[in-house]
Amino acid sequence: MLQDADNIVSRGFSALKIKVGGDTIVNEIDKIAQLNHRYQKIHFRIDANQAWTVAQTMQFIEMALTKELPIDFIEQPLKVGFEHQLKALVVKSKIPIMLDESVFNHHQAFQYMHETAVRLINVKLEKAGSITEAQKIFQTVNDFNGQAMIGCMIESKIGIAFAVALANTNKTVKYVDLDAPFMFNYDLVPDGLRLNQTQLIPSNQSGLGIAQRSFDDI
């Protein structure tokens, strides 16, 4: 993890997304504290991937606050199906709680933002299934005066280019987690979206700026 973090920070990124849930809360906090000491000006975005209970989440929050760790949010701490426990957690937490796996469509976004007071949603095009549904989720988030993160699965630059366009046209988007293109050794799509050290730069051509090509050209 340290080697990966060094690489990311050296490229100029100002935030690290940390996957947690595979260790004790104490050990998870210790790892983040070590990273915080090493980098100092980096913010952390915690993704528990449904690994915790309410009690474990609160333990993590209390320890993080005691150590003054700069955490932007905690993503999906509870398992899908336990959303009824979210309100008590959200009300108590001094670190914002974000939903990911609990929200695939705007109906779920409305339900949980209405019932649990959650005000952060991770919107992914592949998860939503279409641009139209993603836009409906953004609108729902906006209706509740909430904020969104636009995230991704492991898409090529084609899917990410759509996500970048959505991020640039939705005022609810506060966080961007579109790291998939940086994971490829090479990309089947050489044109369109351009990657720099920390930026995804849209094409200035029409549409996504991606030329049609045959399989023989790939």
| 124 counts as catalytic | yes
Long-range contacts, stretch 182-191, CB < 8 angstroms, 24+ apart:
183/154, 184/156, 187/156, 187/157, 188/156, 188/218, 189/156, 189/157, 189/158
Which one is catalytic: 124, 127, 136, 157? 124
CA distance 195 to 166: 17
CA distance 129 to 125: 6
Reduce the DSSP state of residue 69 to 3 states and report it.
coil
| 19 counts as catalytic | yes
Which one is catalytic: 17, 19, 31, 41? 19
CA distance 185 to 183: 7
CA distance 199 to 17: 16
Among 23, 36, 22, residue whose Cα is nearest residue 65: 36
Among 157, 153, 177, residue whose Cα is nearest residue 167: 177
Positions marked catalytic: 19, 124
